[in-house]
Structure 1
Amino acid sequence: AGVIRYAALFLTLLGTWFIVQTYFDQSWKTISLRSWLGEALLPQLMCRNQKSCPQNYFAFKIISGAANVVGPFICFNDEIHSSVNSLCSALNFTFSGTSGQLLKAGTFDMYSGDVNKLDTFLREIKHGTIVLTASYDDPATKMNDKIRAHFVELGSSHVSKLGFRDNWVFLGAKGLKSKSPFEEHIKNDKNTNKYDGWPELLEMEGCAPRKMD
């Protein structure tokens, strides 16, 4: 009975929307079905992305931090992960390339922390693992050639140019045979910075292919 009532309500709303669209003056502002029914009644895409992903692909969204105020955000396979550690300067997550399951997460202070912790984290990543990275505050002061080489191995094209207070978002994988297409980088430049001393945040979304055994 409950299902029938909801179906009747939906059909009533849909019919009303059709009448408004058909018979009211066309100079009125267009009423979209989304605004008429409301966001809650329409299905949300995974990670709230703008486009759906095909079968055997994982939806993802990565948002860098904003200055040293708002922490980074990562969504993978519709699971949200964000940093609550105000001291971290880089946020890294690893996921199974086959199942999409979270394997390991780490936050690292790249301004004054121990970079060997990040080195260990990256060295232990196994073949076929997907890696997502988002910067916050300053991702580069402690970054050395060894760390940069790890990210190059994961498919990064921009890590070699990463500098003080740059913003950077990246998705790569252990065992890639070419560069990752999922990477964005913006330089810290006082002439173009959106915030006082930091560039604007970066947001990247897409579909990462599943590793097929």
Structure 2
Amino acid sequence: MKLTRHSPAPKRQKCDHWSPCPPGNFAYRILSGGGKQRKAKICFEDEQLISEWNNGAGSGINIAIVNYKTGKLRSTNFFEMWAGDHSREMMDFIRNAPDGSLLLMATHDDGSTRLRNDAKKLVEELGSKEIKNIRFRSSWVFIGAKGFKLPDNIQKEKINHSDQTKNRYKGWPAEIQIEGCIPRNLI
């Protein structure tokens, strides 16, 4: 009988990263929705802040606000941008986040149809370079900071306007994601 060696199963990392974050860092993973059924997911320090399993994800722009010093969730919400104009509520939600907050955002379905320019400008002030490029059913994910600056070398944002007739979701956007590690000593 020939013995075969099997590699041990890889150790699961926070937020399902392939490799662990260095000590003194927070782990994050932001996944946009995909298709009609796959909702947005926001993970921070291995806690699912927004997902289809905790009923926190919705159509439009999903936002989780995290206290940067403690790494603890402050609040979550989603803002429908197809059926009504919820830009003002989204802006109030962002403005009410205290300085020293991380804002993690992801779209599902449509986050742009009724998203007003003043709301885009507010998100741009948090560091977004793509919010002004968001279109009908664009997939978009973003992490920004309020009251401090994130390092330039981390993945902060991604947008996809792919031809939705040519992906597996037939007319619905495909999911995209960003993930990374944020040093805990920025402020």
TM range (shorter): 0.7 to 0.9
Q: Which of residues 96, 108, 112 is equivalent to 1:124?
A: 96
Give % identity: 29
> 1:107 deviation in Å?
1.2
Range with greater deviation from structure 2 (50-59 or 197-206): 197-206
Match of residue 172 from structure 1: 144
Match of residue 6 from structure 2: 32
Structure with the greater relative contact order (CA < 8 A, sep ≥ 6): 1 or 2?
2
Match of residue 180 from structure 2: 206
TM-score by length of 2: 0.85
> 1:20 deviation in Å?
3.3
Q: Which of residues 102, 105, 115 is equivalent to 1:143?
A: 115
Match of residue 157 from structure 2: 183
Give SS of 1:70's match: coil
Higher helix proportion: 1
Could you say if the C-alpha distance between residues 192 and 176 of structure 1 is closer, same or farther in structure 2, counting changes exceeding 3 Å?
A: farther
Could you say if the C-alpha distance between residues 190 and 79 of structure 1 is closer, same or farther in structure 2, counting changes exceeding 3 Å?
A: closer
Match of residue 6 from structure 1: none
Pairs aligned (count): 180
Output one character per residue of 1:128-184: Cα deviation in whole Å (capped at 9) or x when no partner.
211111110001111111111111111111101001100011111113447774111
Match of residue 22 from structure 2: 54
Q: CA RMSD in A?
A: 2.3
Match of residue 110 from structure 1: 81
Give SS of 1:201's match: coil
Larger radius of gyration: 1
Higher strand proportion: 2
Q: Which of residues 13, 17, 37 is equivalent to 1:45?
A: 13
Unaligned runs of 5+ in 2: none
TM-score by length of 1: 0.75
For the Cα contact (< 8 Å) 1:155–1:172, is it kept in 2?
yes
Give SS of 1:122's match: helix
Unaligned runs of 5+ in 1: 1-18, 22-30
2: CA distance, partners of 1:91 / 1:72: 7
Could you say if the C-alpha distance between residues 211 and 108 of structure 1 is closer, same or farther in structure 2, counting changes exceeding 3 Å?
A: farther
Output one character per residue of 1:98-137: Cα deviation in whole Å (capped at 9) or x when no partner.
1100011111111123322111101112222111111100
> 1:56 deviation in Å?
2.1
1: CA distance, partners of 2:103 / 2:56: 20
> 1:202 deviation in Å?
0.5
